[in-house]
Amino acid sequence: MEPTAKKNTVSEFSYMLQRQGSDDSAEVNAFDDINSLVKRDANQGKATETLSSLPQASFNYINSIVGSGVIGIPYALHRAGFGLGLFLLVIVAVITDYSLILMVRCGHLSGRFSYPGVMEAAYGKGGYYLLSLLQFMYPFLAMISYNVVVGDTLSKVLVRFVPSWGSSMGMVRFGVVLVVTIFVIIPLCLYKNVSRLAKASFLSLACVVLILMAVVYRLLSGDYGVVPNTPESWRFAHSDLIPAVGIMAFAFMCHHNTFLVYQSMQNATMERWEKVTHISVGFAWLVAALFGIAGYCTFRALSQGDLLENYCWDDDLMNFARVLFSISILLTFPIECFVSREIVRTQIKRFYSHEVIEYDTDKDPSHVTGEEDDRKSMITTLVIVFTAFIISPYTECLGPVLELNGLLAAIPLAYILPGLAYIQLSPHSLFSQEKLPAAGLVLFGTIVTISGAAILMPNLIGDCRTGIIMGYCKDDELALNGTSFIASTVEPNCATDKI
């Protein structure tokens, strides 16, 4: 490491610790990293007591990567084809691994160890505002997808206990989202000490692991051996690989936590960071691959955007998995809302502020938040939550929402912007050995985003339906209550039950 870069690292790290020790509000760092909502306890004042070992940093990063996106991997394999989909999953993991390492290199080159700081150092106000837009889009679209998931999963559980509701699943689904929004999501999102919710991220990871165990068990038990094969079941490749890449990119998205994990490490160096990244992305790939393989081998061409939608409504083990997944979603929702809110508030304050922003200081624009205005904060929170609630009924398909978030937000955040930042900050020529991989990263992300948007947008609000029992569940007792069935012999062309 160059002496100058090392000096910048130490000074930036000291600055982070000072701010974390002095700022009473968790909102100060919300724009940079979701996990930075976790406040340090009063007895953790010493820097040496807060640093993580390499295994601990790896676990923290794994916790950041593995999330709700893995539930859509079987559907991604269906869209791309089973063989090509697994190959793409490896490619996306490798590219993600490289982009995470590239971001920390950009931090050393710029002396700014936050994503907004790097983009502002590289491209000034334009880079900063572009990042702001994308960092708002990503959690906001995630909130919409969470509404879709909670509505789908909890409605199935309720109908298990009240079978007569199975004949009006649309209303049940809407009612579930409305009740959860009013009585659970809004109180959690208005909770001032959101840092305590961020500490529950380990519980969210544990829920995902338990759901994976249930999915694998159902495959090995053969309980869904009645699921029919179709001509599309084991095809090696399909033409819909671009939407599949979007779903996979969403599942691996963790770039907003990169600098937080890096600066939490003991003896943070590029070599140690590369090890942490390889371990974390490798484990995340393993979890995603297991989800994808187990889910796809169970349902094959009938795999849906929300894998849990494939399981029969009277399957109590998977109903338990649905409840776990809903808990995981509800623990994540307020943190995503918090980040969206702070980005909106930061941009409003920055727009109306007459301060001259000094780009060569260590102080990131994301830290310029001032004192919290409780009333404005509450109004902003309510507007964001209800906007997500209003939009979510327009699609009953989780797949297109994951694709949209992956293509328009996750891929630019994960691939395009880190590559562009490195190209701008690195002193090497564009066609040098150092910059060519970064240029390839930008080219890959740009092609996937543009072509994916062109494919997805015209069909975003398609003929998608939910609340329909799959044909292989024809012995489901809910059939006696008037719930519609669908045949299981035709390939779905959307994320849920249009079969």
- As a whole number of angstroms, the distance between CA 170 and CA 465 comes to 9
What pLDDT score was predicted for residue 373? 65
Number of alpha helices (DSSP H) and beta strands (DSSP E) in the chain:
19, 0
Do 458 and 472 form a contact (C-beta atoms < 8 A)? no
3-class SS letters over 196-254: HHHCCHHHHHHHHHHHHHHHHHHHHHCCCCCCCCCCCCCCCCCCCHHHHHHHHHHHHCC
Closest listed residue to residue 159, CA positions, set 4, 313, 383: 313
- As a whole number of angstroms, the distance between CA 78 and CA 75 comes to 5
- As a whole number of angstroms, the distance between CA 47 and CA 69 comes to 34
DSSP 175-193: HHHHHHIIIIIHHHHT-S-
**C-alpha dist (Å) from residue 140 to 31, 66, 72, 315:** 13, 19, 18, 32
Token digits for 93?
């993991």
Residue 133: other Cβ atoms inside 10 A: 13
Do 265 and 13 form a contact (C-beta atoms < 8 A)? no
Q: Which helix (H) or strand (E) holds 42?
A: none
Do 299 and 227 form a contact (C-beta atoms < 8 A)? yes
Residues of the chain with pLDDT under 70: 1-50, 192-200, 354-373, 459-468, 474-499
Do 186 and 382 form a contact (C-beta atoms < 8 A)? yes
Token pair 């671009």 is at which residue? 242
Do 81 and 244 form a contact (C-beta atoms < 8 A)? no
- As a whole number of angstroms, the distance between CA 197 and CA 64 comes to 14
Residues 348-392: tens digit of each pLDDT: 877 777 553 433 333 444 444 444 467 888 999 999 999 999 998
Q: Which amino acid is at 28?
A: V
Alpha carbon 177 to its chain's center? 20
SS3 category, 327: helix
Closest listed residue to residue 143, CA positions, set 388, 323, 339: 388
Helix 417-425, helix 115-161: angle, nearest 10: 170
List CB contacts of 387: < 8 A, sequence separation 6 or more: none
Closest listed residue to residue 261, CA positions, set 107, 423, 41, 128: 107
- As a whole number of angstroms, the distance between CA 374 and CA 90 comes to 45
Phi, psi of 469 (to 5 degrees): -75, 130
**C-alpha dist (Å) from residue 45 to 12, 32, 93, 447:** 17, 22, 36, 47
Sign of the Cα torsion 493, 494, 496, 497 reads negative
Q: What distance, in Å, lies between the first and last C-alpha atoms of the chain?
A: 57
Q: Quick check: pTM over 0.85? A: no
Sign of the Cα torsion 161, 162, 166, 171 reads negative
